[in-house]
Structure 1
Amino acid sequence: MCARLEPRLEAGTHIRRQLVYFLAVARTRHFTRAAARAHVAQPSLSKQIRSLEDELGAELFTRVRGNIALTPAGEALLPLAERILSDVDTAKLEVQELAGLRRGRVRVGAPPSLCASLFADVLRRFHETYPGIQLLVQENGSRDLVQALHRGELDLALVIVSPDLVEGPLSHTPILREQLVVASAAGADWPGERKTVALSELRDRSLVMFRSGYDVREVTLRTCQDAGFQPQFAVEGGEMDAVLRFVEAGLGVAIVPSMVLAARPLLRGVPLTGTDMSRTIALAHRTQTAPTNAARAFRDVLVAFVVEAARSGELPAGVEMILA
Structure 2
Amino acid sequence: MTLQQLAYFVALADVRSFTGAADSLRVAQPTLSRQVKALEDELGAPLVQRTRGAVTLTSAGEAVLPLARRMLADMESVRVAVAELVGLQRGRVRVGATPSLCIGVLADVLRVFHERFPAIRLELAENGSHLLARSLLRNEIDIAVLTVPAGGLDAGLELTPLLRERLSVASPASGNAPTSRGAMTVKELARRPLVVPRRGYDLREVTLQAYADAGVTPRFAVEGGEMDAVLRLVEAGTGVAVVPDLVFAGRPRLRRTALNPPLYRTVALARRADLTQSQAVQAFCDTLMEFLGELSAAGGFVGDVQVLGQPSG
The TM-score range, normalised by the shorter chain, is: 0.7 to 0.9
Query: Residues of 2 paired with 1:79 and 1:206: CA distance?
Result: 46
Structure 1 segment 262-281 matched on structure 2, within 5 A: 262-273=249-260, 275-281=261-267
Any gaps of 5 or more consecutive residues in structure 2? none
Q: Secondary structure at the match of 1:276?
A: strand
Correspondence 1:223 to 2:233: no
Which residue of structure 2 lines up, in the alignment, with residue 60 of structure 1? Answer: 48
- Asked if the contact 2:159/2:271 (under 8 Å) is kept, the reply is yes
Which residue of structure 1 lines up, in the alignment, with residue 306 of structure 2? Answer: 320
Which residue of structure 2 lines up, in the alignment, with residue 85 of structure 1? Answer: 72
Q: Secondary structure at the match of 1:315?
A: coil
**Amino acid across the alignment from 1:153:** E
Query: Residues of 2 paired with 1:93 and 1:197: CA distance?
Result: 50
> Identity percentage over the alignment?
47
**Which range moved further: 68-77 or 205-214?**
68-77
Give how far 1:301 is off. 1.0
Change in 2 beyond 3 A, CA 1:310/1:96: same
Give how far 1:265 is off. 2.5
- Asked if the contact 2:133/2:154 (under 8 Å) is kept, the reply is no
Aligned length: 308
Q: Secondary structure at the match of 1:116?
A: helix
Correspondence 1:121 to 2:108: yes
Change in 2 beyond 3 A, CA 1:232/1:80: farther
- Output one character per residue of 1:67-87: Cα deviation in whole Å (capped at 9) or x when no partner: 232235456655654454233
Which residue of structure 1 lines up, in the alignment, with residue 126 of structure 2? Answer: 139
- Asked if the contact 1:86/1:153 (under 8 Å) is kept, the reply is no
Query: Residues of 2 paired with 1:317 and 1:101: CA distance?
Result: 38
Change in 2 beyond 3 A, CA 1:149/1:203: same
Change in 2 beyond 3 A, CA 1:76/1:202: farther
**Amino acid across the alignment from 2:292:** V
Which residue of structure 2 lines up, in the alignment, with residue 292 of structure 1? Answer: 278
Q: Secondary structure at the match of 1:62?
A: strand
- Output one character per residue of 1:248-291: Cα deviation in whole Å (capped at 9) or x when no partner: 23322110111212232322111111x22111211121111121
Which residue of structure 1 lines up, in the alignment, with residue 142 of structure 2? Answer: 155
Structure 1 segment 9-24 matched on structure 2, within 5 A: 11=1, 14=2, 16-24=3-11
- Asked if the contact 2:147/2:265 (under 8 Å) is kept, the reply is yes
Query: Residues of 2 paired with 1:199 and 1:60: CA distance?
Result: 50
- Larger-gyration structure (1/2): 1
**Amino acid across the alignment from 1:217:** R
- Output one character per residue of 1:280-309: Cα deviation in whole Å (capped at 9) or x when no partner: 211121111121111111111111111111
Which residue of structure 2 lines up, in the alignment, with residue 307 of structure 1? Answer: 293
Q: Which of 152, 164, 174 pairs up with 1:187?
A: 174
Q: Which of 57, 71, 75 pairs up with 1:71?
A: 57
- Output one character per residue of 1:3-23: Cα deviation in whole Å (capped at 9) or x when no partner: xxxxxxxx4xx2x11122224
Any gaps of 5 or more consecutive residues in structure 1? 1-10
Give how far 1:311 is off. 1.4
Query: Residues of 1 paired with 2:202 and 2:79: CA distance?
Result: 34
**Amino acid across the alignment from 1:262:** A
TM-score (norm 1): 0.85
- Asked if the contact 2:249/2:301 (under 8 Å) is kept, the reply is no
Change in 2 beyond 3 A, CA 1:154/1:37: closer
